[in-house]
Amino acid sequence: MADHDATTGVLVDLDGTLLDSVYQQVRAWTDALRAAGHEVAAAHVHAGIGLGGDRLVPWLLGRHVDHAGDIAADHTERFLAAADTLRPTAGALALLDDLERRGVPYTIATSAGAEERAALLSALGREDVPVFDAEGTGSSKPAPDLLLAACDHLEVEPANALMVGDAPWDALAAARVRARPIAVRCGGFSDAVLTGAGAVRIVDDPSALIASL
């Protein structure tokens, strides 16, 4: 802790960052979109993963669709059907333990809905971790609302916070409020995309962040 300002805090994304879940998300969204009559390339769906669930469908289709909520619900059902294939990313639990042991204020910050959040935490294998969810926090990522509310909860200034996430949307949200965006590659996003979104440090997975946040 010696090199830590007491006000430094760490926010950690859940889906794709602590869980190796992005490829299941891509398949679930691609299939749900197709079932609703929208053929979208899987690689394009991948590019939108990490956006708020309310934003992904209009972002992909380039327009508002009335049945976006139905697509999102169908996606959740398909994603939960693959929940038994979810595993923690390398070092996920060890990173949380490290933050805990070193007394760094931290929380998982997630905009996943209740059902997905429960499945993800169950796959993480640790249900006693601090989780700040997006319910009632306003606009979804890449808006910084969740991040601001989580910082407020930790009593940390956003400019003193680190945001660890796998998606460019995490980095964008953090950069907007001068939090420090740190990216993990385990979501399958390229360094160019992560850097372009503002990530100041990119590592393969949470294991590389142990003892260094």
185 binds its own copies (CB under 8 A): yes
122 binds its own copies (CB under 8 A): no
What number of other Cβ atoms are within 10 A of residue 93's Cβ? 15
Structure tokens at 6: 């007491």
Cβ contacts of residue 111 below 8 Å, gap of 6+? 52, 53, 133, 134, 140, 141, 146
Buried b or exposed e, range 159-198, using 16+ CB within 10 angstroms: ebbbbbbbbbbbbbbbbbbebbbbbbbbbbbeeeebbebb
22 binds its own copies (CB under 8 A): yes
87 binds its own copies (CB under 8 A): yes
Smallest distance, Å, CB 43 to its own copies? Answer: 4
17 binds its own copies (CB under 8 A): no
Q: Which is nearer to its own copies, 88 or 142 (CB)?
A: 88
Smallest distance, Å, CB 113 to its own copies? Answer: 22
Which one among 24, 76, 107, 160 touches its own copies, defined by CB under 8 A?
24
Q: Are 78 and 27 in contact (CB under 8 A)?
A: yes
Please name the helix (run of DSSP H) or strand (run of DSSP E) that holds residue 118, with its range, or none. helix 114-124
13 binds its own copies (CB under 8 A): no
* Interacting residues toward its own copies by CB under 8 A: 20, 22-24, 26-27, 30-31, 34, 39, 41-43, 46, 85, 87, 89-90, 185-188, 190-193, 204-205
